[in-house]
């Protein structure tokens, strides 16, 4: 809770927590890539698909991002559409916009 409060107030850029999310091998590979997205930046589903070695898996990446069980900690909010627009987020686009705003990253890309 302390780390989350620090993050939301802009005092923390990452989390030091033991993470062992449950998911498929594919989902875990996507979530691992999400952890590499630097604070204050965004990336696209296509970039993640390419990074995991399957450039055509954008939709599958989107489903894996949506299945992320530890949002904020595994920063799925940093993934945007190829057009640069905010796209689906399990907690709503207003929450995604808020989190990106906390990081000052809406409009920045990896």
Catalytic residue numbers, as ranges: 76
String of DSSP letters for 9-68: TTS-SS----------HHHHHHHHHHTTSPTT--EEHHHHHHHTT-TT-HHHHHHHHHT-
Please give the Cα distance from 52 to 21 (Å, whole number): 18
Side-chain half-sphere of 37: how many Cα atoms within 13 Å?
30
Q: Tokens for 91?
A: 């907690």
């Amino acid at each position: 809770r302390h780390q989350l409060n620090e993050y939301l107030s802009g005092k923390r850029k990452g989390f030091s927590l033991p993470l062992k999310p449950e998911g498929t091998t594919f989902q875990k590979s996507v979530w691992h890539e999400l952890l590499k997205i630097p604070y204050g930046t965004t990336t696209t589903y296509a970039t993640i698909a390419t990074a995991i070695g399957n450039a055509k898996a954008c939709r599958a990446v989107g489903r894996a991002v949506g299945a992320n069980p530890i949002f904020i900690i595994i920063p799925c909010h940093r993934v945007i559409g190829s057009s640069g627009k905010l796209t689906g987020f399990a907690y709503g686009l207003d929450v995604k916009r808020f989190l990106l705003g906390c990081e000052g990253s809406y409009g920045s890309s990896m």
